[in-house]
Amino acid sequence: MYYRKLGNTGLEVSEISFGTIPILQGNIPVLPAYFNLDESEALAVMTHAFQMGCNLFDTAIVPEYGDAEIKLGKFAACVGRERIIISDKARFFGGGEMYRAVETSCENLGTVPDLYFVHQVDASHEEEVFGRGGALDALAELKAEGKIRFAGVATHYYDILLRGAQDERVDVLQGSGNLLERGMLDRIRQETRFRGKGFLVNKVYAAGLLPARFPVRTLIGFALEYPVSSVLVGLGTKEQVEAAMGWDTRNPKRAVPSFEEVLSVLEKEYAPIPCDRCQRCVCPYGTEIHTLFRQYQYFYLGKDYWALKKLGLGISESARHCQECVAMPCMDTCPQKIRIAQEIQKIEKLTREYAV
């Protein structure tokens, strides 16, 4: 295992880190049944990762990741609190709620988290989070009081990451990317304003869909090529830990497939939309184009029910707007020259065909 600096925090983190969703137990819709781990199994998996050099463990407040936060606290007590770095998060956007969430997390963990993120920040909550008295002010206060060590923003949106990169209250960012959805990572690589912050990248397996198509070493190695501090991988078995961490990331040299090569692999299964989720397209009607395209890809890659459900939300309205849209400003900024309006019509047709 190799280690990288976590921005300006002074911490050194393992370049492959442990995501705790798969060690939770309970009724969480995103949880496949085989990840239904009890406490002793969960601790054994985390211990295995620790023995392989992993020192960063990422979780979220109960119940966002079920009971994973509690299990991580127990693991920290077993292994020695000072030997690992705990990253935690909560989806609360107001300052008061965030302050109380961190206190709850400290109780659940039985210790103080090293990193604490505002979780899943999107445009509708951005001003609340960044504004006066919002979640980031609360994290700054908690940091001053010694209840967390460093503050962060976790989001799937490039513009919000960039805002976080320029905010002095933010020490660490957490964003997503993988072989298929690499557009945001490409932009982060080009943007020097990200360099002062630690950066954790998640979703490198694309919700578990890509390992059936590409070796996990390729998926992880791909993300490590970017200026990130650590690649977070959800792990639920010792075998998964071995696959993710049991190799030398610097030797042998990995061949990272180009975006076109990734598309050509997927073309054997369906007609992928060549969208890398760079998020440069903007729709004046509010259609989140990159998210629609993601759900389309995920539908064909195996998350059919979940993806279809999400696609159904507002798709007919989006398709209607596209039919009436003359200027089509979204197309002007798309480097892939995707015929966005036509793809949205195609997706709308798909949701009608498969609607139950």
Beta bridge partners of 198: 172
The H or E element that residue 234 is part of is strand 230-234
* Closest among 109, 25, 15, 10 to 56, alpha carbons compared: 15
Asked if residue 32 has a cis previous peptide bond (ω within 30° of 0), the answer is no
Nearer to ligand SF4, 110 or 284 (CB): 284
Q: Taking CB under 6 A as the rule, does residue 258 contact ligand SF4?
A: no
What are the structure tokens assigned to 355, written together?
């609607």
Q: What is the amino acid identity at position 2?
A: Y
Nearer to ligand SF4, 188 or 325 (CB): 325
Q: Taking CB under 6 A as the rule, does residue 165 contact ligand SF4?
A: no
Q: Which of 98, 102, 241, 283 binds ligand SF4 (CB under 6 A)?
A: 283
Q: What is the DSSP string of 123-148?
A: HHHHHHHHSTTBHHHHHHHHHHTTS-
| Binding track, positions 111-140, relative to ligand SF4; x by CB under 6 A | ------------------------------
Q: Taking CB under 6 A as the rule, does residue 289 contact ligand SF4?
A: yes
Residues 311-350 touching ligand SF4, rule: CB under 6 A, are: 321-322, 325, 328-330, 333-334, 336, 338, 340-341, 344
SS3 323: helix
Q: Taking CB under 6 A as the rule, does residue 288 contact ligand SF4?
A: no
Q: Taking CB under 6 A as the rule, does residue 45 contact ligand SF4?
A: no
Whole-number Å distance between alpha carbons of 273 and 181:
11
Q: What are phi and psi of 172, to 5 degrees?
A: -135, 145
Nearer to ligand SF4, 235 or 283 (CB): 283
SS3 55: coil
To ligand SF4, the closest distance from the beta carbon of 279 in angstroms equals 5
Q: Any idea what DSSP says for residue 83?
A: G
| Binding track, positions 177-206, relative to ligand SF4; x by CB under 6 A | ------x-----------------------
Q: What is the DSSP string of 276-316?
A: --------TT---HHHHHHHHHHHHHT-HHHHHHHHHTTHH
Q: Which of 24, 45, 245, 275 binds ligand SF4 (CB under 6 A)?
A: 275
What are the structure tokens assigned to 155, written together?
């989001």
Q: Taking CB under 6 A as the rule, does residue 240 contact ligand SF4?
A: no
Chain residues in the site for ligand SF4 (CB under 6 A): 183, 275-281, 283-285, 287, 289-290, 293, 321-322, 325, 328-330, 333-334, 336, 338, 340-341, 344
